Amino acid sequence: MPTSSLRRAARLAGIVPFAATVLFAPPAVAGDSGGAGLAAAAPTATKKPGSGNTTRDSENLGVRVLSRGTQGKDVRLLQGDLMLAGFPTSVDGQFGPETQQSVESFQHAHNLTATGVVNAAVLKALLAVVKSLQTAGPLENAQINADGTATAPADAPPVVKAVIAAANQIIDRPYLYAGGHGGWTAPGYDCSGAVSYALHGAGLLATPLDSTGYEDWGDAGTGRWVTVYADPEHAFAAIAGLAFDTSDFGGPDIPAGSGPRWRYDAIGNLADGGDYVARHPQNL
């Protein structure tokens, strides 16, 4: 489904990439070469878990215990990782009842006590799951060419190469509301129309879906080669390590203009704060 670029940009304020997550560790101090990615500052003050923490939030996931009532950038990072691990959560920086439920579901699924509190043990388990998902992909990522098309990695299955080849056919089309939903050939494409075109080109989709339709499509969670991220307002795909997207996240518009484009940051669009669900084709 189409969405306003201005609205998406407004939701971006204050967000940092999910990939910045780190394990619980003390902040680095002067002369200390450890603590990479962690702010070289005193630990953030917190209240006891469940006390409605409204103190200054942390830039880094892992500095403090997170529980219902906490808020901030580290909560956004937690929510993004929960979503990637297959536990849909609004990425809004507010540790509310939805986030608590996702944490409890994760804890239950991984034989942890379902407290809804994210301490060092819970975060270690979560990041291990996310890391396994992010490292289970292709040996090499697809590459973006000077003309904006993408070249599939040599080890990609034929069906993935077909998805990329189909997507390449429309990377110079403009963004068009409802484009690609009335027929496969269109003068322009919206977000879900573009994703549908690419998947259809590989025989993975018979009829176009809107972004809401993608929330129940395929199998739950991220795939090794192809993942579709969808919420009621937007859909984009991560394909062989690249993003195929109509929104301005993850890299420049090549070629210039609006519409479906390849971008190097495969999950950069997650930073818009949407309530994304990750789905993937079976065995991909």
Considering the domain architecture, whether residues 55 and 99 belong to the same structural domain is answered as yes
**Total structural domains within the chain:** 2
In this structure, what CATH number is given to the domain that contains residue 261?
3.90.1720.10
What's the CA gap between 273 and 19, in Å, rounded?
15
For 100, the enclosing helix (H) or strand (E) is helix 97-109
Helix, strand, coil % over all residues of the chain, rounded to 5? 30, 10, 60
Same domain, 88 and 27: yes
Rounded Cα gap, residues 64 and 47, in angstroms: 10
CATH number, domain with residue 51: 1.10.101.10
144 DSSP 8-state letter: E
Q: State the chain's mean pLDDT as an integer.
A: 79
Gap between the Cα atoms of 249 and 29, Å rounded: 34
Residues 152 and 33 in one domain: no
For 174-197, write each residue's pLDDT tens digit: 999 999 999 999 999 999 999 999
List pLDDT tens digits, range 112-149. 999 999 999 999 999 988 777 655 556 578 999 999 99
**152 and 233 part of one domain:** yes
Which amino acid type is present at position 41? Answer: A
Same domain? 122 vs 157: no
pTM of the model: 0.60
Domain boundary among 113, 134, 155: 134
Q: Are 90 and 36 in the same domain?
A: yes
Same domain? 154 vs 255: yes
Give the pLDDT confidence of 203-240 residue by residue, as tens digits: 999 999 999 999 999 988 888 899 999 999 999 999 99
> What backbone torsions phi and psi does residue 242 show, to the nearest 5 degrees?
-115, 160
Same domain, 114 and 166: no
Structure tokens at 61: 């996931």
> Which of 134, 157, 186 represents a domain boundary (last residue)?
134
166 and 124 share a domain? no
What is the pairing mode between strands 277-280 and 219-220?
Answer: antiparallel
Domain-ending residue, one of 91, 109, 134: 134
Is 127 in the same domain as 147? no
- Show the domain range for 189: 143-280
